[in-house]
Amino acid sequence: MISKPRGTNDILPSEVYKWHHIENAFRTICAEFGFEEIRTPAFEYTKLFKRGVGETTDIVQKEMFNVIPNVKIREIQGDEQSVASFNRYLEKEGMTLKPEGTAPVVRAFVENKLHGQGSMHKYYYVTPCFRHERPQAGRMRAFHQFGIEIFGSVSAISDAEVIALGATFIERMGLKAVELRINSIGCKACRPVYDKALSAFLEPKLPRLCETCNDRFSKNPMRILDCKNPSCQEEVQGAPVMLDYLCESCESHFSEVQNMLTGMKIEFIVDSGIVRGLDYYTKTAFEFISRDIGSQATVCGGGRYDGLIEEVGGPETPGVGFGMGMERLLLTMEQTRVEIPKPNYVDLFILNLGETAKAPALMLAQALRNEGIKVELDHLERSMKAQFKYANKIEVPYVIVLGEEEVRKKAFALKEMKTGTQVDYKMDEIKKIAAQIKAVE
Ligand code: ATP
Ligand code: MG
């Protein structure tokens, strides 16, 4: 027996309806808001994530799953200067499994010159993601994200609409105890001033901060505020907050976003601690945080990233979006006992008895499936009793029994399992049968 790798999960047929429920609702809401789906490969060049996610993030510093093709391994093993050659390879052509959804979407946007096709662009994605983290509840090595991006608008309307989609979706998922926390992390103009003040505050604390934070200090000191290390969190208490340093443009953008949210009756809390994991974020940063699921409480994170598209080689284009973790959303729903509607496995089970009933049962099943009815039939020549037992087990709402006599008469009864009511039909009354089954759906 070979087991699944640590931090991964099988989604079994008995659970998959929950995923369909979430995915369908997400696709529906994206369509309502005018977002179009975009799909990108499962892996990208490592350099995309280094640039598009940022060298100072946990993702790039610690969590990336790199992809090394077999030929490369053989080449390196046969090479005297293997380490140097391997490093050169990684630098230039190394590939990494997608750790998040945004950078690949930006890459596809730039590479396919979608910016030439209009001035504003709204995309959504649903994708598996991979991060080498310490597995725990709500923190997996293989997980799923869905998210949205708006490219091309600097307006606060875009920030507000992105947040509104997230809030509406979470509400539709039946989650109540989820808080929206928003912040502004400034822009090219005001961030450097803040970074200076923050650096001055942090410098004397460097010996007590972790190695990663020390590394971040010169590159992006704000990231230190987001460190998960409890002792680092302790040290940053009382640090200067970005909100006190916002320039006029960031200040007014932030208050516009807040006014729009208030106008849409979306509740939020301003939290200067929301600095988000990724570099190149500007202005608005937000998270949806569950009050129910302990330490992995962030269900959704997002914000504005006006520098990202340029960073990935595209024309200067503003962007705003969010990414939501499917497993975490589901965990929150389960912990707060949100009832997820379970669809019928099938609508109808055809019991067939004896050799002569097999072909007619198959034909009947096919005809009804073409009318949109979900049909299963016995393949195993089980006894009538065993077939009924199975029909009960799968909780099918309707059954038809096809035996020798039914086949000869070209007629049978459609039985409703819950009530026991039977209605007689001729073999060719397909549309009528379908209509009766559909009527109760
Ligand atoms: P965290 O602070 O929990 O590590 P993050 O800042 O790394 O989150 P993002 O990169 O913003 O998270 O990803 C967006 C969302 O994806 C998160 O809010 C979370 O719901 C989900 N997510 C991130 N990492 C994982 C993981 N390892 N397993 C499951 N879901 C995850
Ligand atoms: Mg993380």
Q: What is the DSSP letter of 209?
A: S
Q: Is 304 in the pocket of ligand 1 (CB under 6 A)?
A: no
Q: Which amino acid, 215?
A: D
Question: What is the structure's pLDDT at 278?
Answer: 65
441 has a pLDDT exceeding 70: no
Q: Which amino acid, 437?
A: I
pLDDT band at 363 (very low <50, low <70, confident <90, very high): very high
**Angle, CA 115 vertex, CA 114 and CA 117 arms, to 5°:** 70
- Is pTM beyond 0.75 here? yes
Question: What is the structure's pLDDT at 87?
Answer: 86
Beta strand extents in 347-393 (DSSP E only): 348-352, 375-377
User: What domains are there in the chain, each with its CATH number?
Assistant: 13-64+99-190+246-335 (3.30.930.10), 348-439 (3.40.50.800)
In angstroms, rounded to a whole number, what is the distance separating the alpha carbons of residues 184 and 301?
13
Q: Calculate mean pLDDT across residues 386-405.
A: 97
Question: What is the structure's pLDDT at 275?
Answer: 87
Q: Which amino acid, 313?
A: G
* Cβ(146)–Cβ(126) below 8 Å: yes
Q: Is 277 in the pocket of ligand 1 (CB under 6 A)?
A: yes
Q: What is the DSSP letter of 139?
A: B
Residue 204 Cα to ligand 1 midpoint, Å, equals: 31
* Cβ(199)–Cβ(214) below 8 Å: no
112-119: which pairs have CB atoms within 8 A and are 24 or more residues apart? 115/151, 115/152, 115/309, 115/314, 115/315, 115/317, 118/152, 119/152
28 has a pLDDT exceeding 90: yes
Question: What is the structure's pLDDT at 393?
Answer: 95
Instruction: Give the residue with greater pLDDT, 219 vs 391.
Output: 391
Q: Which residue's CA lies nearest to atom 29 of ligand 1?
A: 139
In angstroms, rounded to a whole number, what is the distance separating the alpha carbons of residues 212 and 205?
14
Question: What is the structure's pLDDT at 315?
Answer: 96
Pairing mode of beta strands 121-130, 36-37:
parallel
Residue for token pair 């595209």: 314
Q: Which atom of ligand 1 is nearest to the CA of 147?
A: 14
Structure token pair of residue 107: 């890459």
- List phi, psi (to 5°) of 385: -60, -45
Residue 159 Cα to ligand 2 midpoint, Å, equals: 22
Residue 394 Cα to ligand 1 midpoint, Å, equals: 36
Q: What is the DSSP letter of 117?
A: G
The edge-to-edge listing of strands for the beta sheet with 95-97 is: 43-45, 95-97, 66-67
Q: Which atom of ligand 1 is nearest to the CA of 138?
A: 29
pLDDT digits (tens, 9 = 90+) for 253-307: 999 999 999 999 999 999 998 987 666 789 999 999 998 766 678 999 999 999 8
79 has a pLDDT exceeding 80: no
In angstroms, rounded to a whole number, what is the distance separating the alpha carbons of residues 322 and 147?
5
Percent of the chain with pLDDT over 70: 98
Question: What is the structure's pLDDT at 440?
Answer: 76
Q: Calculate mean pLDDT across residues 335-343.
A: 90
Q: Is 139 in the pocket of ligand 1 (CB under 6 A)?
A: yes
Residue 296 Cα to ligand 2 midpoint, Å, equals: 9
SS (H, E, C) 273-316: CCCCCCCCCEEEEEEEEECCCCCCCEEEEEEECCCHHHHCCCCC
Q: Is 144 in the pocket of ligand 1 (CB under 6 A)?
A: no
Q: Which atom of ligand 1 is nearest to the CA of 296?
A: 3
Q: Which atom of ligand 1 is nearest to the CA of 328?
A: 20
Q: Which residue's CA lies nearest to atom 24 of ligand 1?
A: 139
Which ligand is closest in space to the CA of residue 296?
Answer: 1
Q: Which residue's CA lies nearest to atom 16 of ligand 1?
A: 325
Instruction: Give the residue with greater pLDDT, 84 vs 315.
Output: 315
Residue 269 Cα to ligand 2 midpoint, Å, equals: 22
117 has a pLDDT exceeding 90: yes
User: H-type helices in 59-173, by residue range?
Assistant: 70-77, 82-93, 102-111, 156-172
Q: Which residue's CA lies nearest to atom 7 of ligand 1?
A: 277
Residue 346 Cα to ligand 2 midpoint, Å, equals: 40
Q: Is 298 in the pocket of ligand 1 (CB under 6 A)?
A: yes
Residue 118 Cα to ligand 2 midpoint, Å, equals: 34
Q: Is 133 in the pocket of ligand 1 (CB under 6 A)?
A: yes
| Contacting residues for 392 by C-beta, under 8 A, at least 6 apart | 417
In angstroms, rounded to a whole number, what is the distance separating the alpha carbons of residues 300 and 284?
14
316 has a pLDDT exceeding 80: yes
Q: Is 299 in the pocket of ligand 1 (CB under 6 A)?
A: yes
Q: Which atom of ligand 1 is nearest to the CA of 133?
A: 27
Measuring CA to CA, which residue among 11, 22, 9, 10 is closest to residue 340?
Answer: 22
Percent of the chain with pLDDT over 90: 83
pLDDT band at 30 (very low <50, low <70, confident <90, very high): very high
Q: Calculate mean pLDDT across residues 395-421.
A: 97
Structure token pair of residue 416: 């409703």
Kindly report which listed range (51-60, 166-175, 272-281) carries the lowest average pLDDT score.
272-281
Q: Is 140 in the pocket of ligand 1 (CB under 6 A)?
A: yes
Q: Calculate mean pLDDT across residues 21-29.
A: 98
Q: Which atom of ligand 1 is nearest to the CA of 139?
A: 28
Q: Calculate mean pLDDT across residues 109-115.
A: 97
Cα torsion 304, 43, 114, 167: sign: negative
Residue for token pair 């230190």: 224
- Tell me the pLDDT of the chain averaged across its residues: 94
In angstroms, rounded to a whole number, what is the distance separating the alpha carbons of residues 382 and 364?
19
Question: Which residues on adjacent β-strands are paired with residue 305?
Answer: none
Q: How far from 337 is each of 330, 331, 401, CA to CA, in Å?
A: 10, 10, 38
Cα torsion 280, 285, 288, 293: sign: positive
Q: Is 143 in the pocket of ligand 1 (CB under 6 A)?
A: yes
Helix, strand, coil share (%) of the chain residues, nearest 5: 45, 20, 35
In angstroms, rounded to a whole number, what is the distance separating the alpha carbons of residues 248 and 234?
31
In angstroms, rounded to a whole number, what is the distance separating the alpha carbons of residues 287 and 96?
26
Q: Which amino acid, 173?
A: M
In angstroms, rounded to a whole number, what is the distance separating the alpha carbons of residues 358 and 338?
42
Q: In a mutational test of the pocket of ligand 1, which residue from 61, 173, 226, 298 has the highest number of ligand atoms less than 8 Å from its CB?
A: 298
The edge-to-edge listing of strands for the beta sheet with 375-377 is: 375-377, 348-352, 398-402, 411-416, 422-426
Cα torsion 81, 83, 86, 87: sign: negative
Rounding to the nearest 10 degrees, give the CA dihedral for residues 374, 379, 383, 385. Answer: -20
pLDDT band at 41 (very low <50, low <70, confident <90, very high): very high
